[in-house]
Amino acid sequence: MDVRMQRFEDYVTMIAEHLGHADRVGPFRGYCAGLMLPGKRKSVEPMAARVAPTEVRSAHQRLHHFVADAPWSDVAVLGAVRDHVLEAAAKGGGTPEVLIIDDTGFPKQGKHSVGVARQYCGQLGKQDNCQVAVSLSLANEQFSVPIGYRLYLPKDWSVDLRRREKAKVPEDIEFATKPEIAMALIDEAMAAGVAPKIAVADAGYGVDTAFRHHLTDRGLQYVVGVTSVVSVWPEGTAPLPPAPWSGQGRKPKLLRRDAHHKPVSAKALAMALKPRQWKNITWREGTNLALTSRFAAVRVRCAHQDYWRSEPRPQEWLLIEWPKGDAEPLKYFLSTLPADTSIHELVRVAKLRWRIERDYQELKQEFGLDHFEGRSWRGFHHHATLSIAAYGFLLVERFAYPKKTVQHPILGEIPALPADFRPRGSPATPAPRSRLNRDFASRTGRRTDRSTRVLPMLRKTG
């Protein structure tokens, strides 16, 4: 057996321990192979046709049952993938530095797929009909791997018993905001003992004051995006102390502000900074050139509803990006990294979020993350777990062969699809080849059924 195939078989054997039944090993092997092999669509039937072209219908049934109905644990499989990647990374990719929290959207045309609603879709950059999933990744400068993944169920869905039943949403799944889902994923990572001490997220999470507090309460530092309107007290300023006690009633405890003493927006603070406070920072080498921009970092206290507090919030960093030539600042970040952290380090950690963007790009373009055509809660999460499992195998291959472009390392030899095969739902099925055509092919030596180099992944086991 080819050494690459042997490594894949070893990977399948390792994951098989977490699938719960021996009959699931073959479909797992086939599904991952289908996700890794080239192909425009990586939904169930096209993958069945690629990995088992001589028995497409039966292979389709096995794969569909495995992804849509089989009750194996996504958490257990993702945990096995995570541990396998981290073990390999320790030898070739280093230790994860940060947790990256993010979400990704999947545009949909209909209304029956679980969780679909009109909401913001990052892939489209606007509000549209889509599903949204929250993810948690471990990352450093060399690699990243998703370790948690959960569908966001809009409030309309969470209270619609009929839709929930049709989509087979578990009874214990209740409405949760995206930051709440993210915190649940972080708690799982911390319970597994794999969470680094720094969390990174974009403004969709960073603007949530409660989310930032939850990170701090769990002993995590953060570098999170915020918007230009977030209110802060610049260094050297703070809320007014509680009002003097009159001697009657309860003694005042709450902080104060007034028309002359109030916080400023992050944008107003940025616009007031002096030219010497801005520095050109290069944070990494891009594809064609070094990535450089202009940044400033100042110490601030967040002011959100601090008039309900008895003590000012602790100081933290406000990091601002203002590319030269732009009319106003581009991005803002809040960070609880230590006060002696350099601006170069603040920028480097903030920009580690690019790793999740690359993950999503590869998972969607190469591993069919957004190709699932089912409608159920279990199927949605199973398909994502298998996409991440296939991606995890590729990551380990890259650690082993860092100077090679490892794309689709699974090879083998089986016949191509029969000439008369058409996917279900095709508008027309051509007539079988006539004897005249077969005679013509034999005389000219032309072949319509060329062999395709893929791995026969659906061998039955157990």
* Whether the Cβ atoms of residue 28 and residue 41 lie closer than 8 Å to each other: no
pLDDT band, very low/low/confident/very high, at 269 (cuts 50, 70, 90): very high
pLDDT band, very low/low/confident/very high, at 441 (cuts 50, 70, 90): very low
* Paired sense of beta strands 315-321 and 279-285, if any: unpaired
Residue at 227 is within a domain = yes
Q: Does the structure show a pLDDT above 60 at 438? A: no
Low-confidence winner among 56-60, 123-127, 385-389, 434-438 (lowest mean pLDDT): 434-438
pLDDT band, very low/low/confident/very high, at 401 (cuts 50, 70, 90): confident
pLDDT at 246: 86
**Average pLDDT rounded to a whole number, residues 207-236:** 97
pLDDT in tens, 352-385: 999 999 999 999 999 999 999 999 999 999 999 9
Residue at 16 is within a domain = no
Separation CA 456–CA 5 (nearest Å): 11
Among residues of the chain, what percentage have pLDDT more than 70? 87
What would the two tokens of residue 79 be?
A: 């945990």
**Average pLDDT rounded to a whole number, residues 211-233:** 98
pLDDT at 461: 38
Residue at 372 is within a domain = no
Separation CA 96–CA 101 (nearest Å): 14
User: Whole domain around residue 327: which residue ranges?
Assistant: 209-237+259-355
Residue at 365 is within a domain = no
Residue at 338 is within a domain = yes
Residue at 52 is within a domain = no
- SS3 of the chain: the string is CCHHHHHHHHHHHHHHCCCCCHHHHHHHHHHHHHHHCCCCCCCHHHHHHHHCCCCHHHHHHHHHHHHHCCCCCHHHHHHHHHHHHHHHHHHHCCCCCEEEEEEEEEECCCCCCCCCEEEEECCCCEEEEEEEEEEEEEECCCCEEEEEEEECCCHHHHCCHHHHHHHCCCCCCCCCCHHHHHHHHHHHHHHCCCCCCEEEECHHHHCCHHHHHHHHHCCCEEEEEECCCCEEEECCCCCECCCCCCCCCCCCCCCECCCCCCCEEHHHHHHHCCHHHCEEEEEEECCCCEEEEEEEEEEEEECCCHHHCCCCCCEEEEEEECCCCCCCCCEEEEECCCCCCCHHHHHHHHHHHHHHHHHHHHHHHCCCCCCCCCCCHHHHHHHHHHHHHHHHHHHHHHHHCCCCCCCCCCCCCECCCCCCCCCCCCCCCCCCCCHHHHHHHHHHCCCCCCCECCCCCCCCCC
Residue at 397 is within a domain = no
Residue at 450 is within a domain = no
pLDDT at 454: 42
pLDDT at 273: 97
pLDDT in tens, 293-307: 999 999 999 999 999
pLDDT at 125: 86
pLDDT band, very low/low/confident/very high, at 286 (cuts 50, 70, 90): confident
pLDDT at 287: 76
Low-confidence winner among 272-281, 357-366, 441-450 (lowest mean pLDDT): 441-450
HSE on the CB side for 207, CA within 13 Å? 12
pLDDT in tens, 173-193: 999 999 999 999 999 999 999
Question: Which residues on adjacent β-strands are paired with residue 74?
Answer: none
Q: What is the pTM of this model?
A: 0.87
Q: Does the structure show a pLDDT above 70 at 409? A: no
Separation CA 351–CA 5 (nearest Å): 36
pLDDT in tens, 155-170: 999 999 999 999 999 9
Question: Which residues on adjacent β-strands are paired with residue 333?
Answer: 225, 319
Structural domain count, the chain: 1
pLDDT band, very low/low/confident/very high, at 452 (cuts 50, 70, 90): very low
The residue with greater pLDDT, 440 or 51, is 51
Burial label for 147, CB within 10 Å (0-12, 13-18, 19+), is buried
pLDDT band, very low/low/confident/very high, at 427 (cuts 50, 70, 90): low
Q: Does the structure show a pLDDT above 90 at 147? A: yes
pLDDT band, very low/low/confident/very high, at 399 (cuts 50, 70, 90): confident
Question: Which residues on adjacent β-strands are paired with residue 146?
Answer: 137
What is the average pLDDT score of the chain? 88
HSE on the CB side for 116, CA within 13 Å? 19
Q: Does the structure show a pLDDT above 60 at 284? A: yes
Separation CA 33–CA 53 (nearest Å): 13
**Who contacts 290 (Cβ-Cβ below 8 Å, separation ≥6)?**
282, 284
Q: Which phi and psi (to 5°) does residue 149 adopt?
A: -155, 125
Low-confidence winner among 15-19, 232-236, 407-411 (lowest mean pLDDT): 407-411
Separation CA 356–CA 333 (nearest Å): 17
How many Å is the maximal CA-CA distance in the chain? 110
pLDDT band, very low/low/confident/very high, at 457 (cuts 50, 70, 90): very low
Amino acid at 401: Y
